[in-house]
Chains A and B, each alone.
Chain A
Amino acid sequence: MSEGGQPQTIPLYIKAPKVYPREIKGRFASLRVIAAWVLLGMYYVIPWISVNGQQLVLFDLVNRKFHILGLTLWPQDLIILSLLLAMAALTLFFFTALAGRLWCGYACPQTVWTEVFLWMERITEGRRNQRMRLDAGPWNRNKIVRKSTKQFLWIVFALWTGFTFVGFFVPIRDVAVRALDFNLGGWETFWLFFYAFATYGNAGFLREQVCKYMCPYARFQSAMLDDDSLIISYDVERGEPRGPRKRSANPAELGLGDCIDCMACVQVCPTGIDIRDGLQIECIACAACIDACDDVMDKMGYPRGLIRYSTGNAMAGRPTRILRPRIFIYLGALLALMALVGMTVASRQPLLVDVLRDRTALHRVSDQMLENPYTIKLTNRTEDELHISIAVEGLDGIYVIEPVRPVTVAPSQVANQPLTIGLPLENARAGMHAITVSASDDDGQVHSETETRFFIPARALENAQ
């Protein structure tokens, strides 16, 4: 471990220094605040919206169906959900190719919740310098009061977030009533706290470390970005050589560029990087450095845009092409997926029929009749009550013994109904026979059928003779 008798200290691990992002006002900061309001507003408000007594967005796991804006998805509709997820991914690719990491800077839940937690930190602990002093200082009354107020706000907000999260899976009004009675179910309580803890940990404690160490997007973004994508870049040509100077000084005379090396862009950065070092994977493209630099440029009387949204090509003095094959490919794939989702949704059968053979008794013989018992599962995907009659065909003389009357299936419900199919022994030939079970509504609007098998054992025929 030691060389030449010199003891060496090996750090246990690289300690990431805490990042104290400075508060910032400006065009892009306002955009981020608007985005946060809209997105968090949607998150916290949508579960409370009900139409005709049906929560507008409810992933009703207990009853195994998802309600999304008037559309009811069943487990069999997993394909639609997968297509929607694929669309979300392609949308991300499209916007990344077009305008860089818009997602990270404005829409990622990690960014948005971190901003809210930072805002709470700011109103309790003060501005950047005050926060740094507070952290460095002793634990006096002021520090305890400020820190505990912050923790209180954080915890309440995180719990509210966890509660809302549960409200996407269990009707939220129900949850609210039971939460007020301290009468939540075990799993609801568990997920409420789990999500609250995740929010607190990610937005309050981990923050930029999530983007730096855990987010896969930063690692594969280069596959979507090219020299025509908008990125946040520092104009090296214009800025260098950087250096401080008086406002009245003429930088040309001093041999300086426009960058006054005030470090404002570094101080506002939520991931603690220096954008002047070029595009880095840590950059979440929040544009805080643009606002900060524009502010400084205004004060210095220099033109804005030393740090700006630009493209690799523009920075190198080449023309930027927005409409390029990549954009059309993403857009085309997106539209194709959209059409596919539309078609899949439109062609969904209003009634699903599943017939399961009864495993305990494959057949019975009674009264010159060979019977096969089944369970029929009728899934009503409409919003109306259906009265379903069941018929069978495929063998001469085959008919439904039970149910005799039409089966009533409530809207969006599944009915499990014992089904007995019979065949006169005189028509029976030994073997497994394919038969078709069909189910139709009274008025013939809804019709669906499925294949199953009818079992005639040779033994049963011998015994009967």
Chain B
Amino acid sequence: MPRNDPHIPRRPLAQRLGAILWPSFFAAGVACMVFFSIVDPLMLRDMTFPDFEIGRMGGYTLGFFLFWAATASSSLFTWLLLRPASRFHGKLNQ
């Protein structure tokens, strides 16, 4: 099927969301594990925002979601690049 074929049906929402959120979640988990096994969140805090009242648990959580934000952005980017042209250049293709 050509990439500008408007008849390519959309995938279910669960699949689209899942394909972006889940692999990035997984990658963020691994990155988080490796990162925090080397870096103690408390030391990181002292080096960056020493006035910030945050414990280790908060540091891990924050770190995880930062990683997830980064990996999910990358997944989102990939999704944009792989979308059929007809989806976002509909007018141009007519």
Task: Report the bound CA distance from A188 to B61 in whole Å.
Answer: 10
B58 at the interface (CB under 8 A from A): yes
The answer to whether B12 touches A16 (Cβ under 8 A) is: yes
The answer to whether B57 touches A209 (Cβ under 8 A) is: no
Task: Report the bound CA distance from A10 to B14 in whole Å.
Answer: 19
The answer to whether B61 touches A190 (Cβ under 8 A) is: yes
CB within 8 A of A11: which of B9, B15, B61?
Answer: B9
Chain B 11-69 residues near chain A, CB threshold 8 A: 11-15, 18-19, 22-23, 33-34, 36-38, 40, 55-58, 60-61
The answer to whether A209 touches B7 (Cβ under 8 A) is: no
Task: Report the bound CA distance from A78 to B35 in whole Å.
Answer: 11
Q: What total of A-B pairs shows CB separation below 8 Å?
A: 68
Closest B residue to A212 using CB positions? B15
The answer to whether A16 touches B57 (Cβ under 8 A) is: no
Closest A residue to B39 using CB positions? A75
The smallest C-beta distance from B84 to any residue of chain A, in angstroms, reads 12
CB within 8 A of B58: which of A10, A15, A81, A187?
Answer: A187
A186 at the interface (CB under 8 A from B): yes
Q: Tell me which residues across on chain B come within 8 A of A13, comparing CB atoms.
A: 9-13
Q: Tell me which residues across on chain A come within 8 A of B14, comparing CB atoms.
A: 16, 206, 209, 213
What sequence of 0s and 1s flags, for each residue 177-201 of chain A, a beta carbon within 8 Å of any chain B beta carbon?
0000000011110110000000000
Given A10-B6, A14-B9, A209-B12, A187-B57 contact (CB < 8 Å): yes
The smallest C-beta distance from A141 to any residue of chain B, in angstroms, reads 31
The answer to whether B22 touches A64 (Cβ under 8 A) is: no
Task: Report the bound CA distance from A213 to B19 in whole Å.
Answer: 7
What sequence of 0s and 1s flags, for each residue 1-41 of chain A, a beta carbon within 8 Å of any chain B beta carbon?
10000000011111110000000000000000000000000
CB within 8 A of B10: which of A11, A75, A185, A206?
Answer: A11
Chain A interface residues toward B at CB < 8 A: 1, 10-16, 61-62, 64, 75, 78, 81, 170, 185-188, 190-191, 206, 209-210, 212-214, 216
Given contacts A62-B55, A62-B57, A213-B12, 6 further A-B contacts (CB under 8 A): A61-B56, A187-B55, A190-B61, A210-B18, A214-B19, A214-B22
- List, sorted by A's number, 12 A–B pairs whose CB atoms are closer than 8 Å: A13-B10, A61-B60, A64-B56, A78-B34, A81-B37, A185-B57, A187-B58, A187-B60, A209-B15, A213-B14, A213-B18, A214-B19
Sorted from nearest, which 10 A-B pairs have the closest CB atoms?
A: A13-B10, A213-B15, A214-B18, A187-B57, A78-B37, A214-B22, A75-B37, A209-B14, A213-B18, A16-B12
